[in-house]
Amino acid sequence: MNPAGNRIVLRDVTLRDGLQLTGGILPVERKAQIVRDLLAAGVTAIEVGSMARPDLVPSMANTVELLTELTPEEREHCYVWVATPGNVRRAVAAGARHLQYCLSVTDAHNLENIGRTTEASMDALPEAVELAHAAGATIQLCLATSFTCPFDGNVDPERVLELVLDPRAEGTDGVVICDTLGQAFPGDVEALIKKVRGTGVFAEIVFHGHDTWGMGVANAMAAISSGATMVDGALGGLGGCPFAPGASGNTATEDLLFALRPAWLTTEAFAAVVRLGEKVTAEVDEPSRSKAAQGARSEAKAFSWVLEGEGR
């Protein structure tokens, strides 16, 4: 299921997508420590926040301050969500090195999430790319609602391919295919990722999945087997889009790590990620939905992935 072996990158999105639906706002210092704990464990790609309006997504209000708090070396591992050229200007001015320019495949969700049509977002993309590259930053095209939309239902895969092939997307450094609602199943994911890979447009293809229907890990594995080079997850399965009714948490970082077994993932590193996930979910008063984290706390002492001396 993993033809690329240990070359697959797991990006942790706890600090952006993971915190969007939580009531608590973590201070800058705590967010910075989470970044450092993830890096210390071995995670090399981290989504740290967004330039979304703070009145609409309060948990993202201190993203600029977080970027300023991080060192240049730490920022090299960090991604920031943007939706307009203005967002790009603010992000790169604060030191962001990697950006995701997000828009929805459907107008209905883009109007709800971004406040404009999909075409308007695409029209602004070339300026966003120019600004990012002028600052020496990378910028991915992030396509929300690539499978289903909370307002329009099933999404035609051909519409996703139209956006991938759109000349206005030229110069972007990768594409993120999002199962925003977690309603896709592995057959859907395999078919769409193969089509995106078949266009030859992007070397970097990211799959961003949610676990609403319990298919998060299976969908990620299907994406990898079909050509994805990166998958997204959040500690404890936190997250969801506040502008997408029916959305729930991301696929858990712990579950993806346990399934993917990257070369750096020792049992000690896995234990560190599990403990971090437990701390973060407790801090924002959310339950951990990670099955791997639950397994790590089991009484199966003969299994090396169980946290030694800490089972319940």
Specify the pLDDT at position 57: 85
| Residue 301 confidence class, pLDDT cut points 50, 70, 90 | confident
For residue 310, pLDDT over 60 is answered with no
Q: What is the pLDDT of residue 241?
A: 67
Alpha-carbon gap, residue 17 to 238, rounded angstroms: 8
pLDDT band at 21 (very low <50, low <70, confident <90, very high): confident
Q: Between these two residues, 53 and 31, which has the higher pLDDT value?
A: 31
pLDDT confidence bin for 54, thresholds 50/70/90: confident
What is the mean predicted confidence (pLDDT) over 207-221? 97
Q: Does position 227 have pLDDT exceeding 80, yes or no?
A: yes
30: pLDDT strictly greater than 50: yes
* C-beta separation of 19 from 26 below 8 A: yes
What rounded mean pLDDT belongs to the chain?
93
Count how many Cα atoms sit within 13 Å of the Cα of residue 111 in the half-sphere of its side chain: 7
pLDDT of residue 311: 46
Supply angle C-alpha 73, 18, 161, rounded to 5.
85
pLDDT of residue 3: 42
Average pLDDT over residues 107-112: 96
Phi-psi region of 171 (alpha: psi -120 to 50; beta: other; left: phi over 0): left
pLDDT digits (tens, 9 = 90+) for 128-179: 999 999 999 999 999 999 999 999 999 999 999 999 999 999 999 999 999 9
Rounded to an integer, the average pLDDT of 292-309 is 91
CATH class of 5-296: alpha beta
SS3 306: coil
On the question of pLDDT at 65 being above 70, the answer is: yes
pLDDT at 2 over 70: no
Residue-range domain boundaries for the chain: 5-296
Among 4-8, 37-41, 288-292, the minimum mean pLDDT is found in 4-8
Instruction: State how far the Cα of 287 lies from the Cα of 13, in Å rounded to an integer.
Output: 17
269: tokens are 């590193």
Q: What is the pLDDT of residue 109?
A: 96
Write b or e for each residue in 190-223: b if 16 or more Cβ atoms lie within 10 A of its Cβ, otherwise e.
bebbebbbeeebbeebbbbbbbbeebbbbbbbbb
